[in-house]
Amino acid sequence: MNTNTLTSDTLFLTQKGQDQKIEATLHYDSQRLKATLIPKTPLSQNTDYTLHLTNEITSEKGVSSKPQTALAFSTSPTDAELKDA
């Protein structure tokens, strides 16, 4: 992993239906080869999000991931909503 290409512009989170990036801190552990994105505020419950990885992220040899990757996920509903279900 070329850590210089791993930035808040190449790995980021959005809420479904919105283009604005969610403010987050990005950490990379070179020993584990693991990137961690930590939102600055808690994510909303029962909400759809997308984690974006652009093809500008490259390996140490300059090889990019193709195509751009988007991983969709949803947060859980509140405890009260679970009890009412």
pLDDT at res. 46: 93
pLDDT at res. 61: 92
pLDDT at res. 66: 77
Query: What is 3-80's CATH number?
Result: 2.60.40
**DSSP of 3-56:** GGG-STTTEEEEETT--SBPPEEEEEETTTTEEEEEESSPPPTT-EEEEEE-TT
pLDDT at res. 77: 83
Query: What's this model's pTM, rounded to 2 decimal places?
Result: 0.83
Q: What is the CB neighbour count within 10 angstroms for residue 63?
A: 9
Mean pLDDT, contiguous 10-residue spans, the chain (85 residues): 92 94 95 94 95 93 87 83 53
Rounded distance between C-alpha atoms, residue 85 and residue 45, angstroms: 15
Q: What is the dihedral of CA 39, 50, 10, 61, to 10 degrees?
A: 120
* Residue ranges per structural domain of the chain: 3-80
